[in-house]
Chains A and B, each alone.
Chain A
Amino acid sequence: MTTTSGNRGLVMDEPLLFEQDAPGRCGVDLETPEGRPLKLGGLERKGAIGLPGLAEPQVVRHFTRLSQKNYAIDAGFYPLGSCTMKHNPRLNEKAVRMPGFALAHPLQPESTVQGALELIATLAHWLTTLTGMPGVAMSPAAGAHGELAGLMTIRAALTARGDARKKVLVPESAHGTNPATATLCDYAVESIPANERGRIDIEALKEALDQDVAALMLTNPNTCGLFEDEIVEVARLVHDAGAFFYGDGANFNAIVGRVRPGDLGIDAMHINLHKTFSTPHGGGGPGSGPVVLAESLVPFAPLPYVVAGEGGFRMVEHDPSGRSFGRLRAFHGQMGMFVRALAYMMSHGADGLRQVAEDAVLNANYVLARLKGAYHPSFDGPCMHECLFDDRTLKDTGVSTLDLAKALIDEGFHPMTMYFPLVVHGAMLIEPTETESKATLDQFCDTMLALMEKAQAGNAEWFHESPHLAPWRRLDETAAARNPVLTWSPEQGKNAAA
């Protein structure tokens, strides 16, 4: 079988380590100590614990092969929309491996980690400058944690003015973390519909805004890949109602260096360093989600934070005013991510970051322009950093968005985001990011166009059986969700789990 891209799936069967068990085989051959009393207080193991017998090269090959099956941003095009998955520059890795950063310990005396503290302060300065916001809380460990920090800050500010409010508004296309965060903060969630242009419906917002609304949470550009062009008016309405405006910074990559969220009227916004600022992401590294804050929220921000004084930099761990809502976690945040993010910022410079946003938007619009016609864009006009299609042109082919995504795997591409945002029927959301070349984008678009042609020519059966070339064929996602098998046992064996 040939594929359009020329890529072929790697069909290799790698048994589980337990299935490779050869009793008695081991990696390190140590003599059994004799004639020495054990010092385990009678707690020594009595029987075997059931580890498989394996030689060292077997184990090395097993994990190497598994890692080769893993599809990652380092292996190929990864067009997941609504969640910037971009190249992690190796310069970041060089910086973070410098011993002064890599070997620092959070309990070291401040005088011995002045460089690390200065780095946190410098990164904070870049973040506040790029967003036009006066303050930033650096400690949140990831995007959703940043949202939580932001909303807890807002709640603390409302409590301080004796104004307990009950509701948080989120647009219907919001990331799932937005309502989850609001719920965790004890707010009721109210959904605001989108207008026919895919932006927040201002009239519905006006109707929902009352004295009980604590905040509106809005992502800009939104999850449809569209710039919320009425955002200044949105901010005015939110503030007139006495509420705060929370920005979800997940899509900041599209506007970094071009638009300052502070200028739009946003009061708090988390920034996913692992998205916009290129630190590893999704299994490759922890996230990091600093929250930038407006003047009115700064006094309520979580501890700790770094300040520069006469004697150098120091960490403020106690808030004498008692207004901070407290600590979110031990220590100061994800230091390794701070180093990488600052390395990224400084190696690009302000002008380079602006070009990042411009190229990300240009690439998404290139994909939009090439696929338009064969695929139906959900909304008119240009997009921002991601382009969104519905499944209208698959209608009556018997091929679904899911089938098409599975066929993409055979072609050597990670599928795009499917069925999100929910407001678009059979959604396909594609975010190429700025680092992909025209050649890669063309290969992807050629493949997408060929697949659509194939679907429309009546190959439903072939699509339903996709992927044909992947190590595993179509998995039964329903059975996996309804009846998950999470542990291996000799009785079940591999086939039962599959």
Chain B
Amino acid sequence: MSDRLYTKDHEWVEVDGDIATIGISEHAQEQLGDVVFVELPEVGRSVAQNEDAAVIESVKAASEVYAPLTGEIVEVNEMLAEDPAQVNADPYGVGWFMRIRIDEPSELDELMDEEAYKDFLADLE
């Protein structure tokens, strides 16, 4: 079991101190199919929870990636602009999207842990 938390929109969050690393889940990358383009937010931008933060485009569709938490974007994974395939290859590792400095730690309570997310996915089937 990892310490990763998940949203209903299939983003994952990994917390280290007051910094949250964010990406999309294995399920999300599988559903999207081959990712061909990723648009990342500007570093320094403040985002509110559930606000559009990034855009992801696959051969099937273009979708938004929502900010799972309120805070400031402190870092984005520039490599995805060059090599969006990393999102498919390693969504929980090198395919991460952005890091947010957490403003509202209480928002973490709204996220699902891995087990809850698995149940959530099973319900979707």
Chain A residues with a Cβ under 8 A of chain B: 176, 189, 418-420, 422, 425, 477-478, 481-482
Contacts and interface: CB of A to CB of B under 8 A. Distances in A.
Interface stretch (B60-68, B100-108, B110-118): B60-68
B84 A176 contact: no
B59 A422 contact: no
B75 interface: no
A478 B59 contact: yes
Q: Interface residue tally of chain B, by bracket?
A: 10 to 19
B36 interface: yes
A482 B62 contact: no
Given A482-B36, A482-B84, A477 B59 contact: yes
Contacts of A482: 34, 36, 84-85
Contact of A481 (B31, B37, B52, B61): B37
Contact of B61 (A422, A425, A478): A422
B59 A481 contact: yes
A481 B37 CA distance: 8
Contacts of A481: 34, 36-37, 57, 59
Interface of B: 31, 34, 36-37, 52, 57, 59-63, 84-85
Contacts of B60: 418-419
Contacts of A419: 60-61
Contacts of B84: 482
Interface of A, secondary structure class, is: mixed
B84 to A, nearest CB: 7
Contacts of A478: 34, 36, 59
A176 B62 CA distance: 9
Contacts of A422: 61, 63
A422 B61 CA distance: 8
Given A478-B36, A482-B84, 9 more contacts: A189-B52, A418-B60, A419-B60, A420-B61, A477-B59, A481-B34, A481-B37, A482-B34, A482-B85
Contacts of B31: 425
A482 to B, nearest CB: 5
A425 B61 CA distance: 12
B86 to A, nearest CB: 12
Nearest 7 interchain pairs by C-beta: A481-B36, A478-B34, A419-B60, A477-B59, A482-B36, A422-B61, A478-B59
